[in-house]
Amino acid sequence: MSDPVPAILDRIDADQSQALDRLMELLRIPSISTDPAHADDCEMAADWLVSELTTLGFEASKRQTPGHPMVVAHGGVGARHVLFYGHYDVQPIDPRELWDRDPFDPAIEETPHGKVIRARGASDDKGQLMTFLEACRAWKAETGGLPCRITILFEGEEESGSPSLVPFLEQNAEELRAEIALICDTGLYGDGVPAIVTSLRGLVGEELTITGPDRDLHSGGYGGRYCTLRSGNSLETRGVSSCWGASSTSCPFWYSMALQHNHGEERMDRRKDTALEAVLEQLIEHGPGEIASVFARAFELAMQIERERFLGASHYERTPERHG
């Protein structure tokens, strides 16, 4: 027996105009599954597909679910059994103002990447499912039948989370059982490059719990991350000083100011002024080589003062507790 594929491809090319007309007809049905206002449109799309499949020689029916209906069809004979899945529902069109034309008035447009069909559902998923039906049409026209047993399952709730799909599969497992399932709702490697996707990951849900302080922290004192501060020996001081090659004991002003520890607001304000003056004095006296340790210690003093305002004199470090 000669290879029928070349003749089938020729048939598809010859009938492309009629195939496009059929696709455009389906695209005009606003089968938005997430909007109850379009429930009748979803029913209309299911009925349209049942009629089209029946024309192709399939035994097709619309099966009701708690949500939108499924379309199931059987055709062909043979030992091999293929299940083909697609969905006829489409995503909402919001925001409407971003569309250049009515999303349910399909049109062929020229783009820098070639011709495209501009309409809601053209690429997700009505265009793909109609491609399979047109392939079946051309195969039957050239060979007189389908290449194997084919079961078709078209869903109407894919864009709304498929709440009815799993119960329907469980209730009709024997009828839908097949050697392989073909899904036409995947992607392409690139424009003009056919692709066969061999597996899909499904969905994964994650819940994150973020634990933080039990009260507001001022960004001036706590911004970025928590710091563990100890007089003259913070991680920040050692880190910055070591990067610049500065000694952790090269700024005597820090220790003298640390000894001036006092909890009065007026005294703290004076310590802030003293810290700024000390920075300038140290830079003048020791030169820019000490800039790392000077600023590190000035920063540490300022952080300590803010913590004393907020937490009291006895708290120099704090770990937030989890509540609730």
Q: What is the pLDDT along the chain (324 residues), one digit of tens a residue?
A: 689 999 999 999 999 999 999 999 999 999 999 999 999 999 999 999 999 999 999 999 999 999 999 999 999 999 999 999 999 999 999 999 999 999 999 999 999 888 999 999 999 999 999 999 999 999 999 999 999 999 999 999 999 999 999 999 999 999 999 999 999 888 777 777 878 888 777 777 778 787 777 777 666 665 544 443 333 444 344 433 443 344 444 444 444 444 444 444 444 444 545 555 666 666 666 655 555 666 666 666 666 665 655 555 444 343 444 444
- Distance CA(58)–CA(37), nearest Å, equals 31
**Helical ranges in the chain per DSSP H:** 5-14, 16-27, 39-55, 126-143, 165-171, 173-176, 219-222, 235-244, 252-258, 265-286, 291-311
**Do the Cβ atoms of 178 and 151 come closer than 8 Å?**
yes
Q: What is the pLDDT of residue 252?
A: 44
Nearest Cα to 150, choosing from 125, 183, 176?
Answer: 176
- Distance CA(195)–CA(181), nearest Å, equals 16
- Distance CA(206)–CA(197), nearest Å, equals 25
- For 231, the 3-state DSSP assignment is coil
- Distance CA(166)–CA(106), nearest Å, equals 32
Paired tokens of 231: 């007089």
Q: Is the pTM of this model over 0.75?
A: no
